[in-house]
Amino acid sequence: MKLMKALAVFATATVMATGVWAQSIAVIGGSIEDGFWNLIKKGVDDATAMVEANGGSVNYLRTQNYDNFGPDLVNLVNQAVAQDVDGIASPVWVPESQVPALQAAREKGIVITMYNAGSDLQEELGALNYFGSDEYIAGVAGGKYMAEHGAKKVLCHIQIPGAINLEARCQGVADGGSGAGAEVVILRVPANLDGDVTGTAEAIKAELVGDDSINAVITLAAWASDAATNAVAQIGAGDRVMVGTFDLSPAVLDRISAGTQTMAIDQQPYLQGFLAVSTLFAHLAFGTEIVTEPVLTGPAIVDASNIESALAGVALGAR
């Protein structure tokens, strides 16, 4: 009996050492210059603790910036494939670039799961699941909220024209706003302004000065709402123009608390990172699956009515 137990322990150790049970995952994320992705990373890091406890590994791959976005994302997919990973968790922002690369990875037996962007491509990619907000639905909620709170004409700012998640957001804002009685106009700025608060503020300010019937702005990233509120303050239009945004940051929440920003649309990025990694690994290692597809983590609108609970999440680094 002792010999049999010893052989069983040896066999288990051998299987773990040869990687039959151990699973490796690559997670593809956004720019290292984009603070939103720090919240995703916290979710990834917390899930990684579980993965490593069960003999697996996680490699988090991020783009330097968004200047060469499509090709850079393909390079990350190819890098993951070269590392001989078992699974890849990735948003799909630029389908014409990413879909062929991810399909090629899938043909090599790599399991794909999606998060953050590209939910409508799940079937085409044969992806395990999608974790994130439906960008269009979130936009509809934001546009409707602004209209119901007094917006007559809403400016929706897109910082990376052509990115499908951002285009879908503003299309949702347009449909949600118009459905509730507001007009929506879209401002697309050059992609090299992404992350540029000063340049973006000037672009938004020009629109507000040129059309004083605009009484609301929705931006698609927390940093961009810094620019929008700066623009509004610079022209003294705080009483006229409401500001809303997708995503949270300490500055956004401080402004909502102070009453200088109306609302934010939270997609709960912590959950996106945590669920994408933990469920992908569990599928690879344990054969489990989540029946619900897709798994939506938003939209959750944060405004003056629920700001305190959101601040508590920020204090813990998860919102």
Which residue type sits at 110? I
Average pLDDT on 276-299 reads: 96
What is the reported pTM? 0.77
List of E strands, 234-278: 242-246, 263-266
Helices (H) then strands (E): counts for the chain: 12, 12
Q: What confidence score (pLDDT) does residue 34 get? A: 85
Average pLDDT on 137-160 reads: 98
Q: Is residue 250 reached through a cis peptide bond, with omega within 30 degrees of 0 on the bond before it?
A: no
Q: What confidence score (pLDDT) does residue 13 get? A: 38
Q: What is the mean pLDDT of the chain?
A: 92
Topology classification of domain 2-133+268-288: Rossmann fold (3.40.50)
pLDDT tier, 5 (very low <50, low <70, confident <90, very high otherwise): very low
Q: Is 5 helix (H, G, I), strand (E, B) or coil?
A: helix
Using CA atoms, how far apart are residues 101 and 90, in angstroms rounded to an integer?
11
Q: Which residue has tokens 């909502």? A: 256
Name the CATH superfamily, with its identifier, for domain 135-266.
Response regulator (3.40.50.2300)
pLDDT above 90 covers a percentage of the chain that reads 84
Domain ranges of the chain: 2-133+268-288, 135-266
Two domains, one topology: 2-133+268-288 and 135-266: yes
Handedness of CA 116, 122, 126, 129 (dihedral sign): positive
Using CA atoms, how far apart are residues 219 and 217, in angstroms rounded to an integer?
7
